[in-house]
Chain A
Amino acid sequence: MKIVALCGVGVGTSAILKINAERALKRLDIEAFVTATDIAGVSTVGADAQVILTSSELVDAIGKTNADIVVIDNYFDVDELTAKLETALG
């Protein structure tokens, strides 16, 4: 399973999202590959992803995708990530 953490420029915020998504997946005991990318790369990197994690601000920029888009409000809230990933993957 592949999960993409998306931000505008591919450093910083997406890396934080990736790290905390991995923590949430560990809590859920779900094995998944989480990768960070930027808007320019999301169409290729996200092509085979089940879930794209991002900010509400970036949803419109993602374009056409088969992945579930999961909007995260607080990137540091592992409880929020855990609950939303559980819903998306359950």
Chain B
Amino acid sequence: MPLPPLPLEAIAIGVHVDDWRGAVAAAGDALERSGATAPEYTKRMIAVIEEFGAYVVIAPGLALAHARPGPDVHTEGLSIVTLADPVAFGHPHNDPVSVVLGLAVTSSDEHVLLVAELANVFNDAHVIPSLAAATDADAIRALLGVPTATEEPS
């Protein structure tokens, strides 16, 4: 199963943030813009890290911002933010973070296929630095294996 198409609203490149909260908020804003979530979900993604620490930094340079399913999730969604300057999340091995994925799911069971595809994409260790260096949305889409703008049916 391929990842869902990434609308332009769900992609933000070279974003300037002051700290990890700003980075997670940017991923949440992208989810909101794409219609997947309400603002409350962004706050909950930040609260997860405040409660449990930086475990969402699951690979060198990559944070997977997420929270539980809830009424603030309209549809399953994925967003991606690359940072102009990497920020520390407080992870002992994987800081600093230059790529933040925002993930919103509607139920604990439904997201397994989506996550399996994420695992397929990111098992290639080159993908994270390549995403961080990408300068346009189609380069990011190509790295994630989702249709690029020119491939989308008209």
Contacts and interface: CB of A to CB of B under 8 A. Distances in A.
B53 A13 contact: no
A58 B53 contact: yes
Contact of B52 (A19, A58, A76): A58
Interface string A55-73: 1111001000000000001
A39 interface: yes
A61 B52 CA distance: 8
Contact of B66 (A13, A19, A73, A75): A13
B143 to A, nearest CB: 14
Contacts of B54: 57
Interface residues of B, number: 31
A1 B56 CA distance: 27
A73 B125 CA distance: 13
Contacts of A73: 93-94
Contacts of B116: 15, 19
Given A9-B68, A11-B108, A78-B123, A16 B55 contact: no
A8 B51 contact: yes
Contact of A13 (B56, B91, B92): B56
B84 interface: no
A10 B68 contact: yes
Given A8-B56, A55-B53, A56-B93, 15 more contacts: A8-B55, A9-B66, A12-B105, A13-B64, A15-B111, A16-B115, A17-B58, A19-B119, A20-B119, A39-B52, A58-B53, A74-B59, A74-B60, A76-B119, A77-B125
